[in-house]
Structure 1
Amino acid sequence: MKGISYSRYGGPEVLEYGEVRDPKVGPDAVLVKVRAAAVNPVDWKCRAGYLDGMLDAVFPVVPGWDLSGVVVRPGVSVTEFTAGEEVIGYVREDFLSRGTFAEYVAAPVRTLARKPRNLSFEEAAGLPLAGLTAYQVLVKALQVKRGETVLVHAAAGGVGSIAVQLVRHLGARAIGTASARNHAFLRGLGCEPVEYGEGLAERVRGVAPEGVDAVFDTVGGEALKASAGLLAPGGRLASIADGDVTGYGGRYCWVRPDADDLLRLTELVEQGAVSVHVDRAFPLEQAAQAHRLSEEGRTRGKIVVTVGDAAE
């Protein structure tokens, strides 16, 4: 089958399009025909070797953890899905080798949920990792409540754009950092935008004089440092980008596959509470270009690669 792989760490140039090994379907897995796969920052960080201290790489590595597609064949013990069902998945293992940038993937049942009926395959591919990250941080780590004020960093990105929608769904006020070109986009999501960069704390104080109840940091560094000083009494802080958050009394969060959480996101999408914005879509053979764009860090919403006619 065709897919993308790399046989050593490096830049986007190490990604090769060609034949990759066919997946074997274990008892608790499902063979999925991939229609689209999202590009996430973690993908190029893995490819560059930045996560080598955490995840073993079994070369050649097929990148990618997100997918949308159609079930071809369930494993012998699987009762949750049948052939022909449309699914989404955050198909992450504790090592790098068998990713989603391929025509077919053997996905453990614990990583899958049914695809939202009102999303295209391209849009649906952008939901799992970003959506689960936003949901698990806001609902489980920060425990956002109705009436609170929540600051979300990089609010126009893949995680941030879903996070601000979830904040609004939870009945809270969303303030989001973004460049000026993305402010109208954020207002359309019900978020109050503020410019990031120097003077950030003063700008946030200008719209939330009493501070914020929770901060969802996706950037780290100076943004994290500024955030700690913006918390109201009893405020909570969580970061997915900077382990130094624990030094400010906050929590460092790493998303995990969870079929129940993923199904809840599907339901929220179908209810109209959450949408997925696709910035760019590339055919699978142009995955290196998709990685390059992701590394620039200026994406509004998600970047996806398509396998076949994923726009249906």
Structure 2
Amino acid sequence: MTSKQMDAIVLQAFGSPAQALTRRSEPVPEPGPGEVLVEVHAAGVNPLDVFIATGMLGTPVPVIPGGDFAGVVVSDGGLAGQEVWGSGWSQGVELGMTRPGTHARYVALPEKLLSRKPARLTMSEAAAVGRSYVAAWMTVITQMDIRGGETILITGGAGMIGQAATALARWRGATPIIAARHKPEGVEHYIDTASGDIPEAVRELTEGRGADLALDIVGGALFEPAVRSLRFGGRLAATFNNLTRIEFNPGEEIVNRQLRISGIASLFWEPTEIAAIFDQLAPLFDRGLLPAPAVKAWPLDKAAEAYQAVAAGSAGIKQVLLPGDTTE
């Protein structure tokens, strides 16, 4: 390790953000073979960060948390000075879990994890894309291959993954139906999950046919309604941490209607696959085909408050830390 120091947020114990997190001086990490040093200009805070802080994953402590980032390569080499972005939650990297994460002034990253940041986005906006868009891309584009003219039901569509999935669906020419506890701005087709029959509402919106696709981000009690909302031969992808047990008849609901059901966990993807998603996202943001995420930026010494905002539910606004001396 180098003798140079940096400001960092450290997960020192498990519990609430105020109990678990502290800001302190840490050594600037030394990049290993195939790695570069990135000065972090902005770093997103995700529900996974909050979940890790509770100790439910058994992450060794102390550790610097954080997986999403936007910044500038400051180590020598061909990438020196390049603005980069990405997400370090992938197989063999696990930023903020098994190695120091991005909620610090500097982070050492494998070169294969880096993608060139879109010029149209600020650092805060770029850091807000992160894990949400990775999960949305994996499900909506890679797994379900959404197409123009199709209809997709998105449960939990008011959250960050839901907003990303909505944007990707619209880019592909599909029609999103958002099922959530509150209606996001700019949404035409909305179902209140607190009242009403979701499958019936979907049929009303699709002239009795049912949705072509469903993305279940919530799980639990919403999984069966999402399945029942699909047309014959429809497809569903699920990405959630809800471990609630549910019971329904898979023969009747899945087999007899020839549905295709898949589950996605981004932690098991390779770093090069994650970087490839960011490479494809960059020109879409630069050309204005995808909207910039809504962001609330926090200085590093307010990290516990940013984490608490995520834990409380941030109504579709991404909480982002600014580890450096400047703000946007």
Residue in structure 2 matched with residue 219 of structure 1 by the alignment: 218
Q: Residue type matched to 1:124 in 2?
A: A
Shift of residue 273, structure 1, vs aligned partner: 1.4
Single out whichever of 226-235 and 150-159 deviates more from structure 2. Answer: 150-159
Unaligned runs of 5+ in 2: 1-5, 255-259
Residue in structure 2 matched with residue 101 of structure 1 by the alignment: 103
Residue 268 (str. 1) matches residue 284 (str. 2): yes
Distance of 2:76 and 2:276 partners within structure 1: 19
1:38 alignment partner, SS class: strand
Residue in structure 2 matched with residue 2 of structure 1 by the alignment: 7
* Contact kept in structure 2, 1:121 and 1:310, CA below 8 Å: no
1:164 alignment partner, SS class: helix
What's the CA shift string for 1:76-101, capped at 9, x where partnerless? Answer: xxx5xx21111102123244341100
1:156 alignment partner, SS class: coil
Equivalent pairs, count: 298
Match for 2:139 among 122, 134, 137? 137
1:197 alignment partner, SS class: coil
Residue in structure 2 matched with residue 295 of structure 1 by the alignment: 311
Match for 1:90 among 80, 87, 91? 87
Residue 172 (str. 1) matches residue 177 (str. 2): no
Structure 1 outlier segments of 4+, above 4 Å: 242-245, 309-312
* Contact kept in structure 2, 1:37 and 1:122, CA below 8 Å: yes
Q: Residue type matched to 1:199 in 2?
A: G
Shift of residue 51, structure 1, vs aligned partner: 2.2
Distance of 1:74 and 1:230 partners within structure 2: 54
Quote the sequence identity (%): 33
Shift of residue 154, structure 1, vs aligned partner: 2.0
2:60 alignment partner, SS class: strand
After superposition, the Cα gap between the structure-2 partners of 1:222 and 1:74, relative to the gap in structure 1 and judged at 3 Å, is farther
Q: Residue type matched to 1:207 in 2?
A: L
Aligned-pair Cα RMSD in Å: 2.1
* Contact kept in structure 1, 2:13 and 2:21, CA below 8 Å: no
After superposition, the Cα gap between the structure-2 partners of 1:31 and 1:239, relative to the gap in structure 1 and judged at 3 Å, is same
Residue 117 (str. 1) matches residue 133 (str. 2): no
Query: Given the two structures, how large is their TM-score scaled by the length of structure 2?
Result: 0.85
Shift of residue 106, structure 1, vs aligned partner: 0.5
Shift of residue 135, structure 1, vs aligned partner: 0.8
After superposition, the Cα gap between the structure-2 partners of 1:306 and 1:270, relative to the gap in structure 1 and judged at 3 Å, is same
> Which of the pair has more CA radius of gyration?
2
* Contact kept in structure 2, 1:156 and 1:186, CA below 8 Å: no
Shift of residue 311, structure 1, vs aligned partner: 4.9
Residue in structure 1 matched with residue 65 of structure 2 by the alignment: 63
Shift of residue 310, structure 1, vs aligned partner: 5.8
Unaligned runs of 5+ in 1: none
Shift of residue 156, structure 1, vs aligned partner: 2.4
* Contact kept in structure 1, 2:68 and 2:130, CA below 8 Å: yes
Residue in structure 1 matched with residue 239 of structure 2 by the alignment: 240
What's the CA shift string for 1:241-286, capped at 9, x where partnerless? Answer: 14779x7662110123421111101111112111232342211111
Q: Residue type matched to 1:294 in 2?
A: V
1:126 alignment partner, SS class: helix
* Contact kept in structure 2, 1:58 and 1:97, CA below 8 Å: no
After superposition, the Cα gap between the structure-2 partners of 1:186 and 1:96, relative to the gap in structure 1 and judged at 3 Å, is farther
